[in-house]
Structure 1
Amino acid sequence: MTLHTALVLLTALVIGLVIGGLTFLGGGPTAGAVLAGLLSAGSSVPALRRLIG
């Protein structure tokens, strides 16, 4: 795994954790918070590839 890939995936993980945590703390159900975190992490990968690359 290249350094670029590791950085993109780690940043996507942090984004997903933050979004999921904020959704949960905002009163959303646990399943909704997990789904929000997964969707935000997955959708941020292409943008991060372009921004960091």
Structure 2
Amino acid sequence: MPNDRDPLLSQRSALILLLGVLVGIEAGTVAVLGDAGPATAVLTGASAFAAGVVFFHTTIA
């Protein structure tokens, strides 16, 4: 019988994704405040999320 209480993500993975989301939200917010269009802000936030995940993946042991 499988244990349904096992976590889906490890604590490290959850932290890396959380920090990536925070970086993406902040980058999108800065883009909007800098008078960028909505599409540009979304693309900026998405690319910042990806870069943040890669950065935190390499720096968090």
Shorter-chain TM-score above 0.5: yes
Aligned to 1:39: 47
Q: Which runs of 4+ in 1 moved over 2 A?
A: none
User: Which consecutive residues of structure 1, in runs of 5 or more, have no partner in the other structure?
Assistant: none
Q: Larger helix proportion, structure 1 or 2?
A: 1
Q: Which has the larger radius of gyration?
A: 2
Equivalent position amino acid for 1:7 in 2: L
Q: Which runs of 5+ in 2 are unaligned?
A: 1-8
Moved more, 24-33 or 39-48: 39-48
Aligned residues: 53
Identity of aligned residues (%): 28
TM-score w.r.t. length of structure 2:
0.82
